[in-house]
């Protein structure tokens, strides 16, 4: 569920607006192989630009997120993405779950959109699962 409107990219804004509970957006590093049939939005400009952290920062502000999923390997191998995920999700109270990288590749098959970045660090992929804003729906306590 879209909460705000600061996105310039028309396709990404449309997907964010229509994202339902538990539907997935993947923020991918430059090397992630995307299976045929999965929509990809290539935002990569050059090495590292935009980074996974750049895109994650915008989407955390734009989207109600149920949980963020990263590869277990990310925590050991990619301190940059690990720190960005922690820094951006903790204040928002978003749950972060780590699963094996092979399972991330399986999740990608059901992604509504893969956003390819210029990130060139290993295990830099972040999966966002759409959430619900119960306050906007008028059903919160």
Does residue 29 lie within any of the structural domains? yes
**CATH number of the domain residue 104 falls in:** 3.40.1650.10
- The phi, psi pair for 8, rounded to 5°, reads -90, -35
Does residue 1 lie within any of the structural domains? no
Q: What is the pTM of this model?
A: 0.90
Does residue 72 lie within any of the structural domains? yes
Does residue 21 lie within any of the structural domains? yes
Does residue 48 lie within any of the structural domains? yes
The domain in which residue 108 lies consists of 10-133
Residue 24 parent element (H or E): strand 24-28
pLDDT-based confidence at 31, cuts 50/70/90? very high
Per-residue pLDDT reduced to its tens digit, 73-101 = 999 999 999 999 999 999 999 999 999 99
68 HSE (CA, 13 A, CB side): 29
Number of domains observed in the structure of the chain: 1
**pLDDT given for residue 109 in this prediction:** 97
Per-residue pLDDT reduced to its tens digit, 96-119 = 999 999 999 999 999 999 999 999
């Amino acid at each position: 569920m879209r909460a705000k409107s600061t996105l310039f990219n028309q396709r990404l804004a449309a997907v964010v607006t229509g994202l339902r509970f538990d539907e997935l957006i993947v923020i991918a590093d430059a090397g992630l192989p995307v299976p045929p049939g999965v929509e990809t939005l290539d935002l990569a400009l050059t090495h590292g630009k935009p980074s996974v952290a750049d895109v994650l920062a915008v989407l955390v502000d734009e989207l109600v997120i149920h949980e963020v999923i990263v590869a277990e390997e990310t925590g050991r191998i990619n301190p940059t993405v690990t720190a960005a995920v922690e820094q951006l999700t903790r204040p928002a109270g978003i749950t972060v779950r780590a699963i094996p990288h092979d399972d991330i590749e399986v999740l990608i098959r059901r992604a509504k959109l893969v956003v390819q970045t210029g990130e060139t660090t290993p295990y830099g992929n972040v999966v966002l699962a759409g959430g619900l804003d119960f306050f906007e729906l008028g059903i919160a306590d």
